[in-house]
A and B are shown apart, each in its own frame.
Chain A
Amino acid sequence: DQQVKQNSPSLSVQEGRISILNCDYTNSMFDYFLWYKKYPAEGPTFLISISSIKDKNEDGRFTVFLNKSAKHLSLHIVPSQPGDSAVYFCAASDRGATNKLIFGTGTLLAVQP
């Protein structure tokens, strides 16, 4: 039972354009959502998060949008840069418990120069 889903295994975007990565979840108990970025042979690096009491959080070029009614969140990167090329994981947790993260399967973003 995949509680967090990233239906696009890959995405290719031109440098300077917007990258939009999508994520869907099924568990209504999730109240905290995160995006991690992962380069090959490295551990995931935290990018940005959002609490369920918000619908948007922005940090520089990165913005996360949360639509609770649709159980959907998205990560927008604008403008996209070649250094953004990596695998992006969406994760969710129920912070009332152990804060263990439930991850999606990831989306490989390729930003073309």
Chain B
Amino acid sequence: GAGVSQSPSNKVTEKGKDVELRCDPISGHTALYWYRQSLGQGLEFLIYFQGNSAPDKSGLPSDRFSAERTGGSVSTLTIQRTQQEDSAVYLCASSFEAHNEQFFGPGTRLTVL
């Protein structure tokens, strides 16, 4: 069956521009997570969705970062006024419920010049 998909796979942008990253979770998965991996670092939690609501946004690094989820399915992570330190691989994961195994997508590599 289809796994978690993310688009684009790569994004190069200029400092100060806004970017949108998309995640399509596995069908039927109610829990959705965003993580990011900066160079040489482990994966860092950003935000958790249960359905369309986000009960845990504690990992968002600044108010330039926001995310939404619609229809209990697709999620979009938006970064406004991108900075060079935002360069990282952004990974999305979904699970059937919050306490089940998380399945990861391939990630979006964001490069801010």
Q: List A residues at the B interface (Cβ < 8 Å).
A: 4, 6, 34, 36, 41-46, 49, 89, 91, 95, 97-106
Q: How far is the CA of A34 from the CA of B106 in the complex (A)?
A: 19
| From A34, A43, A99, A102, contact of B99 by CB (8 A) | A99
Cβ contacts B21-48/A at 8 Å (1 or 0 each): 0000000000101010000111111001
B40-86 CB contacts (< 8 Å) to partner A: 40-45, 48, 50, 55-56, 59
Is B87's CB within 8 Å of the partner chain A? no
Pick 27 A–B contacts, CB within 8 A, sort by A. Answer: A34-B101, A36-B104, A41-B106, A43-B4, A43-B91, A43-B93, A43-B106, A43-B107, A44-B43, A46-B101, A46-B103, A49-B101, A89-B43, A98-B55, A98-B98, A99-B48, A99-B95, A99-B99, A100-B56, A100-B59, A101-B35, A101-B102, A102-B45, A103-B42, A103-B43, A103-B44, A104-B42
Q: Which B residues are CB-close (under 8 A) to A42?
A: 106-107
Contact A98 B48 (CB under 8 A): yes
Q: How far is the CA of A6 from the CA of B106 in the complex (A)?
A: 23
Number of interface residues of B (CB under 8 A): 27
* B69 nearest CB across to chain A (Å): 14
* A5 nearest CB across to chain B (Å): 9
Q: Which B residues are CB-close (under 8 A) to A46?
A: 101-103
Q: How far is the CA of A49 from the CA of B35 in the complex (A)?
A: 19
* A71 nearest CB across to chain B (Å): 17
* A109 nearest CB across to chain B (Å): 15
Chain A's closest residue to B31 (CB) is A99
Given contact pairs A41-B106, A43-B105, A100 touches B48 in the complex (Cβ within 8 A): yes
